[in-house]
Amino acid sequence: AAWRTGLRGKPRDTRSRPKGERLRSCKQKLLLRREGRGLRSGVFSSVITLQTPLKKTKALIGEMGMTFSSAYVPSALCCPSRASILTGKYPHNHYVVNNTLEGNCSSISWQKIQEPNTFPAILRSKCGYQTFFAGKYLNEYGAPDAGGLEHVPLGWSYWYALEKNSKYYNYTLSINGKARKHGENYSVDYLTDVLANVSLDFLGYKSNSEPFFMMISTPAPHSPWTAAPQYQKAFQNVFAPRNKNFNIHGMNKHWLIRQAKTPMTNSSIQFLDNAFRKRWQTLLSVDDLVEKLVKRLEFTGELDNTYIFYTSDNGYHTGQFSLPIDKRQLYEFDIKVPLLVRGPGIKPNQTSKMLVANIDLGPTILDIAGYDVNKTQMDGMSFLPILVSISPSINPDSTTITVT
C-beta neighbour count of 245 within 10 angstroms: 19
The pLDDT score that the predictor gives to residue 273 is 97
CA 245 to chain centre: 27
The pLDDT score that the predictor gives to residue 12 is 34
The pLDDT score that the predictor gives to residue 8 is 24
Averaged pLDDT for residues 138-162: 98
Q: Helix, strand or coil for residue 246?
A: strand
Instruction: Compute the distance between CA of residue 133 and CA of residue 155 in angstroms, rounded to an integer.
Output: 10
The pLDDT score that the predictor gives to residue 237 is 95
What single-letter amino acid sits at 232?
Q
Domains of the chain in start order, with CATH, are: 28-388 (3.40.720.10)
**Would you say residue 268 has pLDDT above 70?**
yes
Q: Helix, strand or coil for residue 107?
A: coil
The pLDDT score that the predictor gives to residue 42 is 33
- 202 versus 45: the higher-pLDDT residue is 202
Write the burial class of residue 400 (CB in 10 Å: 0-12 exposed, 13-18 middle, 19+ buried): exposed
Instruction: Compute the distance between CA of residue 358 and CA of residue 330 in angstroms, rounded to an integer.
Output: 15
**What DSSP line would sit under 320-351, residue for residue?**
BTTPPSB--SSSHHHHB--EEEE-TTPPSSEE
**What DSSP line would sit under 13-30, residue for residue?**
--SPPPSSPPPTT--EEE
In sequence order, what are the residues at sequence separation of 6 or more whose Cβ sits closer than 8 angstroms to the Cβ of residue 337?
36, 38, 39, 71, 72, 73, 311, 312, 313, 314, 315, 358
Q: Helix, strand or coil for residue 352?
A: strand
**Would you say residue 207 has pLDDT above 50?**
yes
- 302 versus 17: the higher-pLDDT residue is 302
The pLDDT score that the predictor gives to residue 7 is 24
The pLDDT score that the predictor gives to residue 44 is 33
Dihedrals phi, psi of 218, to nearest 5 degrees: -80, 155
Least confident segment among 52-56, 207-211, 338-342: 52-56
**Would you say residue 39 has pLDDT above 60?**
no
Alpha-carbon torsion, ordered 393, 86, 197, 44, to 10 deg: 50
Instruction: Compute the distance between CA of residue 59 and CA of residue 63 in angstroms, rounded to an integer.
Output: 5
Averaged pLDDT for residues 250-275: 95
Q: Name the nearest CA neighbour of 159 among 180, 190, 140, 186.
A: 180
Alpha helices in 1-107 (DSSP H): 55-57, 78-87, 91-94
| Mean pLDDT, all residues of the chain | 87
**Would you say residue 183 has pLDDT above 50?**
yes
Catalytic site positions: 78
pLDDT, tens only, 374-399: 999 999 999 999 999 854 344 434 33
Banded model confidence at residue 32, pLDDT cuts 50, 70, 90: low
Q: Name the nearest CA neighbour of 201 among 189, 190, 216.
A: 216
The pLDDT score that the predictor gives to residue 28 is 53
User: pLDDT above 90 covers what percent of the chain?
Assistant: 82
CA 344 to chain centre: 21
